[in-house]
Amino acid sequence: MTTHAPNFGVFHIRKWFSQVEEIWAGETGAPADGEPLFKYMIGACIKNPYSGQFVEDLSAWIDGSPELGIEIGRRLNALTGGARMESYGKAILVGIDGEYEHGNALLTNPAANPIRDALGGGASWVPSTGKRGVPGTILDIPFGHKDALYVRSHYDTMSVSFDDAPNRDEVIVCWVFATRGRLNARLGGLRAEEAEGNGLT
> CB-based burial of residue 196 (10 Å sphere; 0-12 exposed, 13-18 middle, 19+ buried)?
exposed
106, 63 contact by CB (below 8 A):
no
pTM: 0.92
Whole-angstrom Cα distance, residue 74 to residue 56? 32
Nearest 10 degrees: Cα torsion 127, 131, 135, 139: -30
Residues present in the chain in total: 201
154, 87 contact by CB (below 8 A):
yes
Handedness of CA 136, 4, 106, 51 (dihedral sign): positive
Distances 100 to 13, 131, 133, 135 between C-alpha atoms, Å: 18, 7, 10, 16
CATH topology of domain 13-187: 60s Ribosomal Protein L30; Chain: A; (3.30.1330)
The pair phi, psi for residue 145, each rounded to 5°, is -60, 140
Would you give per-residue pLDDT tens digits along the chain (201 residues)? 568 899 999 999 999 999 999 999 999 999 999 999 999 999 999 999 999 999 999 999 999 999 999 999 999 999 999 999 999 999 999 999 999 999 999 999 999 999 999 999 999 999 999 999 999 999 999 999 999 988 999 999 999 999 999 999 999 999 999 999 999 998 866 565 555 555 543
> CB-based burial of residue 115 (10 Å sphere; 0-12 exposed, 13-18 middle, 19+ buried)?
buried
